[in-house]
Amino acid sequence: MKKIIYLAFCAACMLTFGACSKSKDATLTPQSANVQGDLRDYFTVVERPYVVKYDENGWNKYLISIELQRTDKDFAFDTEGIEPVGYFGQGINGNFGIGIEVYDATSNLVLSKAASADGLSGVYSSDDLKNLLSLAEGETGFVRWSADEFENCDPREFTFKITSYLKIDKQTKKSKSSLSSFSDVYDEVNDLYNEAMKEASDMYDEALKEAEEMYEDAYEQALEAFDVWWLNTFNN
């Protein structure tokens, strides 16, 4: 009887140990390489399974890290002054962000991090976003999000899609447009001024030449008149 109880106890321990040792890691597979939203033309998702490790003692139990690749299309906006969502103030001309939506095997939404969200609701680090704008064609960068929600899911096999957000300040665009218009007007006025100065200079040179010719003609006529007077006076 003791032997049976001992074997049962060992079996229970093995089952408990097996349950405890079961991996809590999560696997995320992209639904598509396409990025949705405002930045869809500039980035794609590197297609591969992403293993998200479970960190029992970490501040974040799960930390998703997804790799994005820069496309060959040039940005249609000036990246100067474009900062991650949550940044504002002097010199900030707009904001951008990257989000993620994670679904379970039955297409239920398990996790949603909006591309327009900041702080704890947004990306893990704004430095991830800043790095994206500096990527050259074909280069890749990683964007991270915390995902403690995975701890309560079983199985931890998910799919995901990436979203994006971009908002450029209209007042800034208007100001830049005004500056551009002023610059165009200045250039046009400057060209007209230079052209007028050239015409005036040409007219002055021409008038000076005519004046010199008139002076020479008058001088010659004066000499001729003097010669006639001289001859008439002394010959008589």
| Better-predicted residue by pLDDT, 1 or 126 | 126
The CA distances from residue 61 to 105, 145, 146, 165, in Å, are: 21, 11, 8, 27
| Contact by Cβ (8 Å): 131, 141 | yes
- Confidence grade of residue 183 (pLDDT, cut at 50, 70, 90): low
The closest alpha carbon to 100, from 108, 89, 91, 109, belongs to: 109
- Mean confidence (pLDDT) of the chain: 84
Q: What is the pLDDT of residue 191?
A: 74
Q: What is the pLDDT of residue 13?
A: 46
- DSSP annotation of 185: H
Tens of pLDDT along 94-144? 999 999 999 999 999 999 999 999 998 999 999 999 999 999 999 999 999
Q: What is the pLDDT of residue 116?
A: 97
